[in-house]
Amino acid sequence: MENQGYNYAIVRSFVTWSVIWGLVAVLVGVIVSFQMVAPDLNFAPYFTFGRLRPIHTNAGIYGWAVGVIFATFFFMVQRLCRVPLWSDKLARFQLWFFNITIIASAVTLLLGYTTSKEYHEMEWPIDVMIIILWVAFAINIIMTIMKRKEEQMYISLWFMMASIIGVAILFVVNSAAMPVSLFKSYSAYAGTNDANVHWWFGHNAVAMALTAPPLAMFYYFLPKSTGVPIYSHRLSIVAFWSLIFMYLWTGAHHLLWTPVPDWIQTLAMGFSVMLIAPSWGSVFNGYLSMNGQWHQMRENYLVKYLILGITFYGLQTLQGPMQAIRTFSAFIHYTDWVPAHIHMGTMGWVSMIAFASLYYLVPRIYGREVYSIPLANLQFWLILVGQLIWSISLWVAGVLQAGMWNAMNADGSLTYTFMETMVEMYPYWWARAFGGLIYMAGLIIFIYNLYMTVNKGKPTAAQTAAAVGRA
Amino acid sequence: MWEKNPVLLLILATGTILVGTMVTMVLPFVWVNTDADRIEEVVPYTALQQEGRDLYIREGCNNCHTQTVRPLVSEVLRYGEYSKSGEFVYDRPFLWGSKRTGPDLARLGGKYPDEWHYKHMESPRSMVPKTNMPAYDWIAENQLDPQMIQRKMETLGFPFTTEEIKALEGKNEMDAMVAYLQKLGSDIPWREASATTIVGELKNPYPDVTHSEMEAWEAIYQDNCAACHGEHMEGVIGPELVGADYEEEILFEIIYTGIADGGMPSFSNLGTERVWKLVNFIKYYNKEEGH
């Protein structure tokens, strides 16, 4: 039997809750996408776009992505270290505290208690809760690694440790605030400094929460799924160090042409372009691991998710640096192109890897075969098509709007008013909302498939053998 | 080495992360918000304006509106003078935003009269027919809490007087919001400085336009002017335009550059051609005899 005293119960719980928060994130996303085209769907004061959009983003990042991080890290760390979790009690506390924090976040955001800083909207008491949560998580992972039985630390563990440290530094620094009351605080930094600190946080939250952890999962679950090892350990090492070195210089590419000092913008632009190399290091490592195994794309749905996921990572890390170049940023920034970019990353890269990881580990932690592979395939196509409709429609919209914003008459006057450019967006916003619905259908099938696996799935061979052994 | 020693790996990873952090995040504090980028005219928010700013934050306005004008031709033409670091020293947090579902607001202050903002916040589509902005009529029902606002001003270290706090009594959230919107970007006297100077002689390009030709131009008026000057030019917030007897060139200048502090925004972003069409439409459309 696979289970050597490993704590799988905590993994199961985090899988359940991450999926629930994932559904909330997508559902709220669909709601706000309809509010964009039908403003009468804003129900003041609580259900307005301005209050719901942060719930969408934070439920996605802190509920879904971080929930999956907790689930998969607890699974991987025990397997890679060949020891049970350091503290089951601490992990149990973390589970409860995680859900309390997410619920408190959603409620306070609905009530309008917000700092307004993107992806860090929650007010200071919740920041404190998140820090406690992360420290509990960090201690458990690091202590488990300390008492491991496997001498060599696999690359996934490196990405996990970097992520833990990185998120901690970023979050604490960007949380600094002067409280007025329990529900209101002012940033410790002002104006341009606040912007620069914030996007140092914002962009590296993407690095440390939405890049390093999915890479940890990818490097673990791809070889596990294909049955062949990763192509090059050395390449993964080079990619690791260069990735975590370069990322931290790039935050100001969110602030090109703003009052942030030019030299910071230039550094951010340069490092963003350089960042293609470590990103594609992992992409190539993934592709080359498939040497002689490409037939698995047809036969193994897990591989399909993982390879499409890493492909979107590759596309994301080409498009990102492109947008980080001053000239292109001047054209495209602030349009709908940018959310399309983000959603290729979250819906394509991060969630594809998350779906594959959960599809891999759920049968193993419950000792049951996956309920339906055809449903998993259907889900694959729904989320792929949903995401492509979502992103492509807004890329087109972004280019169109940017073109109209910049259009000038022969005498140097502007061609279009702002409203003339905005009304052109409506058809694309409808398409985006429709893409979101398709994606949500895929997610609901995923949840149904996991639910049926847990409740109706056939016991796996290992599970049956163990049961016989016990009898 | 590090692949066998987690403590070493953690230390090395932390060090690696901190290099870029120190250079691009910590180091800028040496220059930013110091004398290097200080602007004399920039003053802290008043109690009412700061409360408006906090409401802007509470309602998540920054999800759809940016507050930074980039030094790009089309942007300066559309919104006004580009933003400078020293203008934001009292902004906690910054509200530059990342997406323009609606227009940039960095230079909004003084563009429209207060009344325009009250009506627009109350019912956005009554002023801008096709906008997707939600209505914020309900904030007018919430009274301000002067004590809380005083605490906020103390926390921020902004100067205030007891009269100023007392004056908040009886004011509502809408008042605060409008006060904030009217302050945006108005510390430096950019509007006067950048008012478009029309060079050369202005010449009506449609001297022989007929009434029926002008019918097609009515849409420009209805989309851009009717909210303030009335569907039939009868005047609402702005004055009645029926019988407005301006010279063609004067009318062009008023529409194109606006009247700073007079509540008339610049419509230069319609482009010169359409501004001329408006001039003709306003001046001649309702006159039986044409011209």
Q: What angle do CA A110, A115, A117 make, to 5 degrees?
A: 110
- Which pLDDT band holds residue B290 (cuts at 50, 70, 90)? very low
> How far is the C-alpha of B50 from the C-alpha of B52, rounded, in Å?
5
Rounded to whole angstroms, the Cα distance separating A98 from A168 reads 16
Is residue A233 included in any domain, yes or no? Answer: yes
> What's the pLDDT score for residue A416?
95
Q: How confident is the model at residue B261 (pLDDT cuts 50, 70, 90)?
A: confident
Question: Of B146, B156, B55, which Cα lies nearest the Cα of A51?
Answer: B55
Q: How far is CA A205 from the centre of its chain?
A: 9
A195 within 8 A of B106, measured Cβ to Cβ: no
The rounded mean pLDDT for chain B is 93
3-state secondary structure of A184: strand
State the virtual CA torsion across A298, A304, A310, A313 in degrees, nearest 10. 110
Residues of chain A positioned with their CB less than 8 A from the CB of B18:
169, 248
Which phi-psi region, left, alpha or beta, contains residue A5 (left: φ > 0; alpha: ψ -120 to 50)? left
Tell me which H or E stretch contains A179: strand A177-181
Instruction: For residue B74, list chain A residues with Cβ-Cβ distance below 8 A.
Output: 405-408, 414
Residues in B closer than 8 angstroms to A145, CB to CB, are: 6
Q: How far is A364 from chain B (nearest CA, A)?
A: 28
Say which of B32, B96, B269 has its CB closest to residue A193.
B32
CB contact under 8 A, A200 and B21: yes
What count of residues does chain A have?
471
Give Cα B108 distance to the centre of its chain.
2
Domain extent, residue A391, equals 9-470
H/E stretch holding A181 reads: strand A177-181
The pLDDT assigned to A60 comes to 97
CB pairs under 8 A between A and B: 267
B17: closest CA of chain A, how far (Å): 6
Q: Report if residue A1 sits inside a domain.
A: no
| Rounded CA separation A400/A332 (Å) | 10
Residue A177 host element (H or E): strand A177-181
Domain membership flag for residue A443? yes
DSSP structure string for A300-331: -HHHHHHHHHHHHHHHHHHHHHHHTSHHHHHH
Residues of B with CB below 8 A from A29's CB?
Answer: none
Which stretches of chain A score pLDDT less than 50?
A: 1, 471
Which value, in Å, is the radius of gyration of the alpha carbons in chain A? 22
B192 falls in which pLDDT band (50, 70, 90)? confident
Is A4 domain-assigned? no
Measured from the Cβ of residue B246, the count of other Cβ atoms closer than 10 Å reads 15
Mutate to test the interface with A, among B7, B25, B90 (most CBs of A within 10 A): B25
| Nearest CB to A151 within list B4, B133, B134 | B4
Q: Please tell me the predicted confidence (pLDDT) of residue A50.
A: 98
Among A222-231, B114-123, B245-254, B260-269, whose mean pLDDT is lowest? B260-269
Distance between the two ends of chain A, CA-based, in angstroms?
15
- Residues of chain A contacting residue B96, judged by C-beta atoms under 8 Å apart: 195, 255, 258
Spatial distance between the Cα atoms of B282 and A267, rounded to a whole number of angstroms: 52
Task: Choose among B24, B95, B132: nearest Cβ to A116.
Answer: B95
* Residue pair A39/B133 in contact by the 8 Å Cβ criterion: yes
Kindly state the tokens that stand for A145.
């690694």
Tell me the CATH class for B211-284.
Answer: mainly alpha
CA A299 remoteness from chain centre: 27
Within chain B, how many helices (H) and strands (E) appear? 14, 0
Of the partner residues B6, B21, B98, the one whose CB lies closest to the CB of residue A145: B6
Question: What pTM was estimated for this model as a whole?
Answer: 0.95
Instruction: Name the burial class of residue A470, with classes exposed (0-12), middle (13-18) and buried (19+) by CB atoms within 10 angstroms of its CB.
Output: exposed
Q: Can you give the pLDDT at residue B201? A: 77
Give the minimum alpha-carbon distance from A385 to chain B in angstroms, rounded to a whole number.
Answer: 25
Q: Is A227 on the interface with B (CB under 8 A)?
A: no
**Chain A neighbors of B200, CB-CB under 8 A:** none
Q: Is A196's CB within 8 Å of B72's CB?
A: no
Hunting for tokens 């940016």 — which residue is that? B66
How much is the pLDDT for A186?
98
Mean pLDDT (whole number) for B65-84: 96
Reference B98, options A425, A258, A410, A2; nearest CA is A258
CATH second-level architecture of B47-194?
Answer: Orthogonal Bundle (1.10)
| H or E segment to which residue B229 belongs | helix B226-229
- Cβ distance of A418 and B19 shorter than 8 Å: no
By Cβ distance, the residue of A173, A192, A409 closest to B271 is: A409
Give me the pLDDT at residue A3, please.
Answer: 56
- Most A CBs within 10 A among B7, B63, B177, B269, hence the mutation to make, goes to B63
Residue B288: the pLDDT is 52
ipTM over 0.90: yes
Q: Which residue of A has its CA nearest to B73?
A: A406
Spell out the domain ranges in chain B: 7-36, 47-194, 211-284
pLDDT cut 90: percent of chain B above it: 80
Interface probe, candidates A127, A258, A265, chain B, greatest B C-beta count within 10 A: A258
Contact state of B92 with A416 under an 8 Å Cβ cutoff: no
Asked if domains B47-194 and B211-284 share a fold, the reply is: yes
Residue-wise pLDDT tens digits, B199-236: 677 889 998 888 888 999 999 999 999 999 999 999 99
What are the C-alpha distances in Å from A411 to residues A415, B141, B262, B271? 10, 47, 27, 9
Domains in chain A: how many in total? 1
Positive or negative: CA dihedral B237, B241, B246, B247: positive
Can you read off the two tokens belonging to residue B201? 């002689």
Report how far Cα B76 is from the mean position of its chain's Cα atoms.
13
Instruction: Note the pLDDT of residue B278.
Output: 94
Q: Is B268 within 8 Å of A414 when comparing Cβ atoms?
A: yes
CATH number where A454 lies: 1.20.210.10
For residue A412, what pLDDT is reported? 87
How far from A205 is each of A40, A62, A97, A199, A248, CA to CA, in Å?
34, 11, 21, 9, 10
Tell me the residues of chain A between 259 and 288 that have a Cβ less than 8 Å away from chain B.
259-261, 264, 267-268, 271
A window 159-178, beta carbon within 8 A of B: 161-162, 165-166, 169, 173, 178
